[in-house]
Amino acid sequence: MEKYNIEFNDYEPKYIQIADNIKNLINSKVIKDGDKLPPIRVLAKELKVNNVTIVSCYDKLVSEGYAYQKMGSGTYAKKREITDYFKKEYSKEIKLIKNNYEKNIIDFTGESSRKVNFPINQFKRVINEVLDRDGADALIREEAFGYANLRETINKVFWNNSLNIENLLIVSGAQQGIDIASKAILNINDNVIVEKPTYAGALSVFKFRRANVFEMPVEEDGINIKKLEDILRKNKIKCFYTMSYFQNPTGISYSHEKKLAILELAEKYDFYIIEDDYLSELIFDDNIKHEPFKVLDKNDRVIYIKSFSKIFLPGIRLGYIISPESFRESIQNSKINTDIATSTLMQRALEMYIKEGYWIEYIDNLRSEYIKRYELMKKLINEKLKKYVGFFDPKGGLSFYLNIKDKEIKSKELFYRLKERGVYITPGTLFYKGSNLGEQYFKVSFSQVNQEEIISGIDIIKEELEKWHI
């Protein structure tokens, strides 16, 4: 017990000081992965603090990934994954280049429309029209579930008036939508299935909810149905999180057959599908049909989330969520508890933008521009990187997910080497749950780069891969 003893300072809460000491003991391997930590009363007596202090300390360790708890057994040390540290460092790097954008940076990490693609003058006119029409209401009136006219317009334009408006809520982007859905549907230790790999933001939400996460490897047309049912037979699953089109990061889209099979299993095994409709507007191949899970849902099993931020303007932070009837009240309460209301001016401006037909025109122009970048990047990868990487052709979306053929080349190391040359990629390790999987993969996106930058960036990637063993 001596190793737990510390000399307390006067400026930090004691539970934080105790937690920091235990983290140092875990990092230095004095406490090994899986070692049981002292019982609460024992450690409290040893350190001359009350039991609540140790409870707060252990809760902090669990929330930061340094410990886990077994019901009726106690608290156990957990070695932090290297990947967790890298995720934080990577996030800092990317925020830095976003906040201090430099012209000589080639950013293959971004997945939102660049300002040069956005009709700013047209949107400015729309905002002015909204202010002239609605006056102060456009700035001060708040509606907890979203601007009623926007909800109605979304239903009319995108869903052919097929929805119950009460089930449609406006949210501040897809990330908030995932968070709201998880709060409404998940309790501690509930079981969730995700794709492997998957969107890191969703993993963070489920981790924060303390859900048990099962990973299902993706194939070229979605997850393996047989393996999915094997998990469903053995475990009570609460929900399945999926990106139905151009899955992040792999770029795969679900086949019609797999969507129907998963919907049947959802009814059979009583679980719900959280569908993150990621980038379905950017289909570049006529053989891919726009048909989300929600459209095929006959048993009200799908919680549908759509963001306007990715392909429109990230700064407006708008999206919507469609809930099943059975979860309507829970999702509404979750939304209210998350924030009071979403920006009313932006909602009104977006509603007019969609209603007047500008949205469809904008998407058509955006798709035309992105097809050019997609075709160029695919051509260059085939011509210049084929010796070093393999890849799946997504036929839409905003990125390519590349598989490094040489097992000695790790994407995290490649990230640091490319960073020194002003090129930023997304290593595959960011898309897996708490492990160092994905080291042979990296993602390159083309939404933030022009054609010259794509050519230059791919050349630099080739050069770095070529000299790996020199």
CA-atom Rg of the chain in angstroms: 24
The pLDDT of residue 453 is 95
Q: Give the closest residue to 21 by CA, choosing from 41, 6, 37.
A: 6
Q: What is the largest CA-CA distance in the chain?
A: 71
Q: Give the closest residue to 444 by CA, choosing from 405, 408, 415, 407.
A: 415
Q: Give the closest residue to 464 by CA, choosing from 409, 426, 427.
A: 409
E strand or H helix at 183, and its extent? helix 174-185
The contacts of residue 166 (CB under 8 Å, 6+ apart) are 328
Which residue's structure tokens are 């509404």? 332
Q: Give the closest residue to 238 by CA, choosing from 201, 263, 270, 214.
A: 270
CA separation for the pair 445, 464 (Å, rounded)? 18
Specify the 3-state DSSP secondary structure of 12: coil
> Where, residue-wise, is CATH 3.40.640.10 in the chain?
120-356
The pLDDT of residue 217 is 93
The pLDDT of residue 93 is 64
Say if residues 266 and 299 touch (Cβ distance below 8 Å).
yes
> Where, residue-wise, is CATH 1.10.10.10 in the chain?
2-77
Q: Which fold has domain 2-77?
A: Arc Repressor Mutant, subunit A (1.10.10)
CA separation for the pair 106, 65 (Å, rounded)? 34
CA angle 141, 142, 144 (to 5 degrees): 160
* DSSP 8-state class, residue 103: T
Phi, psi angles (nearest 5°) of residue 233: -65, -35
DSSP β-bridge partners for residue 371: none
Quick one: tokens of 114? 């660049």
Say if residues 350 and 311 touch (Cβ distance below 8 Å).
no
CA separation for the pair 393, 402 (Å, rounded)? 10
Specify the 3-state DSSP secondary structure of 139: helix
Q: Give the closest residue to 147 by CA, choosing from 332, 345, 315, 347.
A: 347
Strand pairing report for 67-70 and 74-77: antiparallel
Q: What predicted TM-score, i.e. pTM, was given to this entire model? A: 0.80
The pLDDT of residue 200 is 87
* DSSP 8-state class, residue 406: -
pLDDT tens over the chain, length 470 residues? 788 998 888 777 899 899 989 988 987 889 988 899 999 999 999 999 999 999 999 988 887 778 888 878 899 998 765 455 566 666 666 666 655 555 678 999 877 766 556 788 888 999 999 999 999 888 888 788 999 999 999 999 999 999 999 999 999 888 899 999 999 999 988 999 999 999 988 998 998 888 999 999 999 999 999 999 999 999 999 999 999 999 999 999 999 999 999 999 999 999 999 999 989 999 999 999 999 999 999 999 999 999 988 787 766 789 999 999 998 999 988 888 877 667 788 899 999 999 999 999 999 999 999 999 999 999 999 999 999 999 999 999 999 999 999 999 999 899 989 998 999 999 998 898 765 678 999 999 999 899 999 999 999 999 999 988 66
Architecture of domain 120-356: 3-Layer(aba) Sandwich (3.40)
Quick one: tokens of 429? 């390790």
Q: How far is CA 316 from CA 87, 308, 342, 457, in A?
A: 26, 8, 10, 29
Q: Give the closest residue to 458 by CA, choosing from 434, 442, 439.
A: 442
> Where, residue-wise, is CATH 3.90.1150.10 in the chain?
83-110+364-466
Strand pairing report for 426-427 and 423-424: unpaired
Q: Which fold has domain 83-110+364-466?
A: Aspartate Aminotransferase, domain 1 (3.90.1150)
The pLDDT of residue 435 is 58
Specify the 3-state DSSP secondary structure of 68: strand
Phi, psi angles (nearest 5°) of residue 34: 95, -10
DSSP β-bridge partners for residue 118: none
Q: Given phi > 0 = left and psi -120 to 50 = alpha, else beta, which region is 25?
A: alpha
The contacts of residue 124 (CB under 8 Å, 6+ apart) are none
Which residue's structure tokens are 């063993």? 469
End-to-end CA, the chain:
51
Q: Given phi > 0 = left and psi -120 to 50 = alpha, else beta, which region is 135?
A: left
The pLDDT of residue 94 is 64
